[in-house]
Copies of this chain bind each other. A is one copy, B any other.
Amino acid sequence: MMQQSAIALGVPLALLAETDDASAAQVVVDTLVGDYTDLETLRAWARRCSVVTFDHEHVPTGHLEALEADGTVCRPGPKALIHAQDKAVMRSALGAMGVPCPHSAVVSSLADVEAFAQDSGGYPLVLKTTRGGYDGKGVWVVHDVDEAAGVVSRAEPQGLLAEERIDFVRELSAVVARAPSGQLAAYPVVESVQRDGICVEVVAPAPGLDPARAVESQTIAMSIAAGLDVTGVLAVELFEARDGRILVNELAMRPHNTGHWSIDGAVTSQFENHLRGVLDLPLGHTTARASWTVMANILGGSAPTLYDGYPHVQARDPEVRVHLYGKSVRPGRKVGHVTAYGDDLDEVRERARHAAHWFEGNDGMNEER
């Protein structure tokens, strides 16, 4: 999807891909297939780039520091990116900035977890690996000391974070873009609907969100972007707690699933603004183009070939926008998304859901996600 925006801007991309059938490798001519954990591979590839940016957070910090020492411009830089890589570092930095977060502590033993439980209202609480989790992986809700013991015994050596379990009404996401100039642009705050820890649907803007909370959410995201010197897109996943608080859950420093609605739904997509941000160009308007935009992820299901979904989906709804990622279908894998927009939220949501379900191989009509 970054390549679509790069084509419009006339900006040539060079890609370091893990495999030659990666989605991006299918559409970027100047692709090197290689291992981003190998510093020499990374260096050889980075030499051809004016600016290096990322579509995941997993490049080791030390490697990025080495690239910067070579004179390579990394945006975001390693000092910013570490906060999207390591949840303990993130919690510590946001706490120091006064950004509202769930109560948390690094734990390395069951005794630490028990101490944390005592300090923060007891069980249930949340345990997370500080690094490497995604789509619900690496996150456990534990209801008692036995469950906690099970997680601690299986935990990776990089450590665990214990967090208070927030009683939330829903999850929100505030996506912003920032340029090295300091310019900031905030997208409308969206609602992110999760199932089994995976985002299945995004509604822009978040329905019924108090305008003051929307501003608060955008302000939190912009403060983080400025405070951590983020360049390009920053997605801040938020809890809207039942007690009214807005609390930061996770950070991503790249175009994010909760911003995909912007491709068809906003004046400037998050991918274009990511590129404009990392290239230090002025940012584009983030305004929505319709009253309501709903993005539904297509998760790998029973349909082996997504393409076969087109005749029904496109004939039933000539306005729905479809994005397939060129990935092989595996159960639960995000293999595409659909976007619908319009004035009636219920209708827009039904259209997006129906199309996504159809691609997944469900009939989509009698099932609630």
Contacts and interface: CB of A to CB of B under 8 A. Distances in A.
Contact of A8 (B31, B284, B314, B322): B322
Contacts of A324: 8-10
A341 to B, nearest CB: 9
A142 interface: no
Interface string A248-284: 0000000000000000000110000000100001111
A89 B273 CA distance: 48
Given A285-B319, A314-B276, A318-B284, A26 B12 contact: yes
Nearest to A20: B29
Copies in the complex: 2
Interface in A289-310: 289, 306-307, 310
A323 B29 contact: no
A92 to B, nearest CB: 35
Interface residues of A, number: 41
A319 B267 CA distance: 6
Output the residue of A8, A12, A285, A311 with the most chain B CB within 10 A. Answer: A8
Contacts of A12: 26, 326
B282 A310 contact: yes
A3 B7 contact: yes
Nearest to A276: B314
Contacts of A307: 10-11
